Structure 1
Amino acid sequence: MSCPICSKNTDEDYRPFCSRRCADVDLGRWLNGSYCVPAETSEDLDEAANALADAQKKLSSRPH
């Protein structure tokens, strides 16, 4: 599997990315709106916001 950001081989600690840098680039793209999840109801938006918050917590808890 290759990193979706830079196409290098993935690292087990950062899958599906190759490094923390690429994981952070991906997170930044989500946070600035480069990526979006289509939603039709407010419940969809709440679910997407909760998933993003969970992803942020997982990334911040990883060792540097």
Structure 2
Amino acid sequence: MATLVTNIKKYRFSAEMSQAKLADLVGVRRETIVHLETGKYNPSLKLAFDIAKIFNVPIEEIFTYRD
């Protein structure tokens, strides 16, 4: 089964950013960030790009697709 693995938490901690702050910056609820970090939710392409842009890294650094 294919899964989408995220490194959001790693980048958030490096930036000393709370889930609430990241959520505010990308225009979603904090719960959405929680679900992204735990793998319970896959982001839209726009949200994935917005998160990568916040951390100034390529989208592939934040999200990895695994078979």
TM-score normalised by the chain length of structure 1? 0.30
Q: Higher strand share goes to which structure?
A: 2
Structure exhibiting the larger radius of gyration computed from Cα positions: 1
Larger RCO of the pair (alpha carbons < 8 Å, separation 6+): 2
